[in-house]
């Protein structure tokens, strides 16, 4: 193998293996509020405490700092632990303690906020977004298209623009809805990096348990 080819392989391999820049706390452009459709999660995690017959529909996955150019900061240093005051607040927002701790460590630390302030902001963000009546627990249809889900959310949130959310699927099944918000928690247009990822036509919406 020629020298230039060896060097090219070394450089590209090194670039691919390089650790990701964790980012700087507070340095981001907007938030994504991610709402997970709990019954879909429970199809593959039936033993999780979230799935013990609580009848959840949409649950909080997280409030994620994002970059307008695409991507996001993650696991920002220093990794400040959740405070004693923050734990009960987080327990009221997230379906499990494990998810709370994961989301704070991976996303919350990049918000530039103290743990309790980040969770209070998350609580406010949840209050900004109205879940459509047709997607409330035990009132959901068996299937809808991603476009129909987008329309329902826009109808329930008149201030949301035409490109203010994305619907995420796992195969042919509804997984999440992701809403774009400014740093002040106003509705925002999603950049190209936040887009619907579902097949055309109807997708399945598993029933609550």
Q: Which of 107, 120, 163, 176 is catalytic?
A: 107
| Partners of 167 in the β-ladder | 177
Q: Which of 103, 120, 163, 176 is catalytic?
A: 103
The structure tokens listed for 42 are 């429970």
First and final C-alpha spacing in the chain: 60
61 given a catalytic annotation: yes
Q: What per-residue string of b and e applies to 102-138 under the rule 16 or more CB within 10 Å gives b?
A: ebbbbbbbbbbbebbebbebbeebbeebebbeebeee
Name residues whose C-beta falls within 8 Å of residue 128's C-beta, 6 or more positions apart in sequence: 33, 181, 185, 186, 187
107 given a catalytic annotation: yes
Q: Which of 61, 85, 133, 202 is catalytic?
A: 61
CA angle in degrees (0–180, nearest 5) for 138-139-144: 115
Label residue 167 left, alpha or beta by phi (over 0 means left) and psi (-120 to 50 means alpha).
Answer: beta
How far apart are alpha carbons 178 and 34 in whole angstroms?
A: 4
103 given a catalytic annotation: yes
> What amino acid positions are annotated as catalytic residues?
61, 103, 107
């Amino acid at each position: 193998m020629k020298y230039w080819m060896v060097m090219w392989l070394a450089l590209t391999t090194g670039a691919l293996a390089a650790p990701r820049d964790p980012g700087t706390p507070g340095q981001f452009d907007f938030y994504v509020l991610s709402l997970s459709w709990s019954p879909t999660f429970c199809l593959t995690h039936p033993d999780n405490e979230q799935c013990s017959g609580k009848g959840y529909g949409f649950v909080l996955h997280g409030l994620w700092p994002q970059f307008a150019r695409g991507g996001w900061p993650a696991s920002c240093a220093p990794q400040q632990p959740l405070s004693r005051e923050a734990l009960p607040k987080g327990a009221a927002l997230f379906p499990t303690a494990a998810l709370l701790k994961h989301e704070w460590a991976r996303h919350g630390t990049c918000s530039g906020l103290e743990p309790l302030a980040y969770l209070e902001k998350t609580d406010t963000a949840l209050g900004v977004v109205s879940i459509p009546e047709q997607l409330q627990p035990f009132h959901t249809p068996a299937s809808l298209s991603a476009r129909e889900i987008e329309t329902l959310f826009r109808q329930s949130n008149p201030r949301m623009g035409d490109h203010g959310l994305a619907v995420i699927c796992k195969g042919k099944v509804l997984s999440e809805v992701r809403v774009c918000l400014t740093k002040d928690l106003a509705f925002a247009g999603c950049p190209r990096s936040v887009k619907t990822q579902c097949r055309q036509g109807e997708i399945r919406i598993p029933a609550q348990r």
